[in-house]
A and B are shown apart, each in its own frame.
Chain A
Amino acid sequence: MVFNSFEFFVFLALTLGVYWLVRHRTQNLLLLVASYVFYGWWDYRFLSLIWISTIADFLIAQRIAATSIQSHRKRWLFGSLAVNLGILGFFKYFDFFVDSAADLLETIGLSANTPTLSIVLPIGISFYTFQTISYTFDVFRRRIEPERDIVTFGVYVAFFPQLVAGPIERAQHLLPQIQADRVRPSLMNVWSGSWLILIGLFKKVVLADGLAAVVQTRFDSPGQHGAVSLLIGVYAFSIQIYGDFSGYSSIARGVARLFGIELMRNFEQPYLSTSISQFWRTWHISLSTWLWDYLYVPLGGSRSGRRRTYINLALVMLIGGLWHGAAWTFVVWGGLHGFYLIVHRARGSYEVRGKPPAPRLTDLWRIVATFHLVGFAWIFFRASSLDAAFEYIGGFARLTSTAAGDGGSVVTQTVGVVAVVAASFALDWVDRNREAYRPLMWSPVPLGIAAASMITGLLIFSGGTLVPFIYFQF
């Protein structure tokens, strides 16, 4: 079931209707069942993987807490990692590693009859395994007490608004909310939750899906496009993936708020970043902070000298790339970002954690430069293979032809993409400066105009083939 489908809204209305009629314990039970229905709607067989993760981490965390002997605690922690990373490794990376090993053998003149299993990737597996790993890690680090109620813990792992594409919540933030009695949401909460859903749908259906065809034609056949057209394709994909993913996160937060639960912000206007480091503090925040806390810091972070810091940065970004998908394109994408971060660090630039300040006009060139660096890396993220990515990049040398090749005129598509990019930046600008714009944002006239515009956009861009969220594949 996906957020941008009719059945989801029927499911949401039914679940919400019952949810606010029952007591706390039953609410959690209902959330658990609803979350399993939501997930099983796609493929019920893979529910068993969620159950394995849930039960394993529920029991292991209690074992960790029950002993003060460090070696025993470590052993249990490795047990949890083995279960979660084992599931993730098998279902997401088995074929990739076997294929890559076969290719490697072939390049040195050996042929190997390697088995590949054509394994179906369970939706959202990267998200919920990282979430359960963080829980066990936090119990191991004595940051939190283990959860004693399996239903509460089950909801923590499988809470449906964020189950398949995040945000990857931390136990310290989400578990207490599930444990506590929920207060019926105020009109204010219902209103702001509904706004988040509307904005999320607008970002997904209008901005992201509206650009999907422009992106697809260029990445499917870059050879038929000139430099300008390919550049439009990069801009379009930059906004498509942002609209798609931040739209999902926004809907997830809005839906969770209707259930009386607050999820973390996953994006803080990343394309207004003035550096690559700031970009990673504002893009997919729940993953970047996860990688920071559970990988970069344990590896030594920046505590062991400059060289080690660079190695750690590169390693974290390569793993971050591979987290997105089992393909060399994602490894290169992660590697490129690792390189950017190392250069940034080598120039002696540092960023402060948290929401970045509002950019000034003098920051404009830095924003533009960062956006283009990120956009360049997106080519590898979107391309179907490394060859395809290099073919796309090679196309920038074709300055003579600007053929669109997909039925729409270049002018129409350029106008469309520029309009969508402008709309996306405008939305982010207002969001970044939300304190300053608060009086305007609470004035009924601009709110009414914004709502009418978004609903009109949804009416225009809805219907047709349902475009799944890009991050579902991760």
Chain B
Amino acid sequence: MRVRVLIVVLITVTLLGVAEVTLHLVGERLGEARFWYAPDAQHLIEDMERLESAGIASDVVFTGSSMVQFGIRSAIVEDRLGSVEVAHNAGIPKGYTTVTRRWLLEEVVPRLQPDRVVWGLSSLDFNGGRPTPAIIDYEAARAGALGVFGWMDRGLWSVSMIARYRDILREPSFLFDLLESQTRSELTIGLDDLMDPVVWPDVGQTPHAFNALRTSLLADFHVGDRHAADFRATIEALSADGIEVVVALLPVSVPYLEAHPDGDDGYALFTDWLRREVDSLGVPLLDFSRAIPEGEFLDYNHVGPDGAALLTEMLVSDLELLGW
């Protein structure tokens, strides 16, 4: 029995070893192994690490969700705002307040060392009624996982190629892509181009997207306790570090307001709450809620390239008025 068990263990270990070596050989062709919850977050980390190793710190960082990611052009800020030489956009998908607290304080601030932070927000950033809170995705990924399990999972990344490429291996189609994938290391991006959006998402105002907005992003809208607490705690932590903070209420479309429970009135209640909250924290609030023409929206809450340029111009003007 003992010998039989030993042989089985030996065969198992050998086969696992063969699988590991095979993946080691073809790994680069499999595509990008997922460490963060979203590829965009992963790319931003790589960009920030390149900036950090080049000794480039930020004068101002823009943070928030994909509304910031695609809504603000840091290159325009660098061009137009005299007091800013280096600006970076660190907005990430689903970067709602609960996510941004961890993302900004643990990842962005230590790497980019900003003097100022502009936090772009809207009501969906605070929604405590979402059926699947974004922080669950963030903390389910290796990079964001907490505790001993997270530590072990990150350890597996360096030890096992099977574990490292697990997200790709879950999709049987990886076999078809094996010979075609291009790894990120093959792309060449200059330091000047880092952290500024160049490709906008291919989305639109469709019934499906509107339904998702109503039943997911704005579902059962109310300001979540944790969302509000994380918002407060983040601003307090930034202020304690001597980082100047401005909160910007980002533009939304008419259908977005219609999708809001109680429509305009519900949204107005939220903005009143946010105004009081920001006042009590002693930071300025810039309101761009209805500042962008309807035609400039890609969908209901994301602006397109022209809308982003327009929004950034307006933001620069307001920041100048604040003495930046």
Contact = CB atoms under 8 A, between A and B. Distances in A.
A188 B166 CA distance: 33
B268 interface: no
B172 A459 contact: no
A191 B4 CA distance: 11
A224 B8 CA distance: 47
Interface in B146-179: 148-149, 152-153, 156, 160, 162-163, 166, 169-173
Given A459-B166, A462-B166, A419 B172 contact: yes
The 6 A-B pairs with the shortest beta carbon distances in the complex, nearest first, are A448-B11, A452-B15, A465-B140, A444-B7, A451-B12, A6-B149
A191 B5 contact: yes
Given A412-B172, A452-B12, A465-B136, A187 B7 contact: no
A55 interface: no
Contacts of B142: 463
A68 to B, nearest CB: 52
Given A210-B170, A415-B172, A447-B8, A188 B19 contact: no
A461 interface: yes
Interface in A459-474: 459-466
B12 A448 contact: yes
Tell me whether chain A's interface is mostly helix, strand or loop, or mixed: helix
Given A210-B170, A448-B7, A451-B8, A187 B1 contact: yes
A224 B2 CA distance: 55
6 contacts: A187-B1, A224-B208, A412-B172, A445-B11, A448-B12, A448-B14
Contacts of A401: none
Interface in A175-229: 187-188, 191, 210, 224
Contact of B16 (A187, A405, A444, A455): A455
Contacts of B11: 444-445, 447-449, 451-452
Given A187-B2, A188-B1, A447-B11, 6 more contacts: A224-B208, A416-B171, A448-B9, A455-B16, A456-B16, A460-B169
B170 A459 contact: no
Tell me whether chain B's interface is mostly helix, strand or loop, or mixed: helix
B285 interface: no
Given A444-B8, A452-B15, A463 B172 contact: no
Contacts of B4: 442, 444
A191 B19 CA distance: 24
A18 B197 CA distance: 57
A397 to B, nearest CB: 20
Given A188-B1, A463-B166, A464-B140, A416 B10 contact: no
Nearest to B7: A444
Contacts of A409: 173
Nearest to B161: A459
B207 to A, nearest CB: 10
B51 interface: no
Contact of B12 (A6, A7, A188, A455): A455
Contacts of A415: 172
B223 interface: no
Interface in A396-434: 405, 408-409, 411-412, 415-416, 419
Q: Which of A188, A408, A448, A462: most chain B Cβ within 10 A?
A: A448
B238 interface: no
Contacts of B2: 187
Nearest to B2: A187
A415 B175 CA distance: 12
A452 B18 CA distance: 10
A452 B16 contact: yes
Interface of B: 1-2, 4-5, 7-12, 14-16, 19, 136-137, 140-142, 148-149, 152-153, 156, 160, 162-163, 166, 169-173, 208
Interface residues of A, number: 34
Contact of A408 (B12, B152, B156, B171): B171
Contact of A448 (B10, B149, B160, B162): B10
Nearest to A191: B5
Contacts of B8: 444, 447-448, 451
Contacts of B10: 448
Contact of B5 (A5, A187, A224, A464): A187
B181 to A, nearest CB: 15
A459 B163 contact: yes
Contacts of A465: 136-137, 140
Given A412-B173, A464-B140, A456 B162 contact: yes
Nearest to B174: A412
A411 B169 CA distance: 16
B15 A464 contact: no
Nearest to B166: A460
B163 A463 contact: yes
Given A187-B5, A419-B172, A461 B152 contact: no
B166 A461 contact: yes
A221 to B, nearest CB: 8
Contacts of A452: 11-12, 15-16, 19
Contact of B170 (A6, A188, A405, A461): A461
A314 B141 CA distance: 47
Contacts of A5: 149
B75 to A, nearest CB: 31
A416 B11 CA distance: 27
A464 B170 CA distance: 12
B302 to A, nearest CB: 18
B141 A464 contact: yes
Q: Which of A409, A416, A464: most chain B Cβ within 10 A?
A: A464
B11 to A, nearest CB: 3
A460 to B, nearest CB: 5
Q: Which of B12, B15, B142: most chain A Cβ within 10 A?
A: B12
A447 B8 CA distance: 6
B196 to A, nearest CB: 26
Nearest to B17: A452
A188 B169 CA distance: 34
Contacts of B14: 448
Given A409-B173, A415-B172, A459 B5 contact: no
Nearest to B163: A459
Interface string A1-26: 00001110000000000000000000
A395 to B, nearest CB: 15
Nearest to A464: B140
B257 to A, nearest CB: 24
A265 to B, nearest CB: 23
Contacts of A445: 11
A406 to B, nearest CB: 11
Contacts of A7: 149
Contacts of A419: 172
Nearest to A195: B8
A439 to B, nearest CB: 13
A446 B142 CA distance: 33
A412 B8 CA distance: 33
A456 B19 contact: yes
Contacts of A405: 208
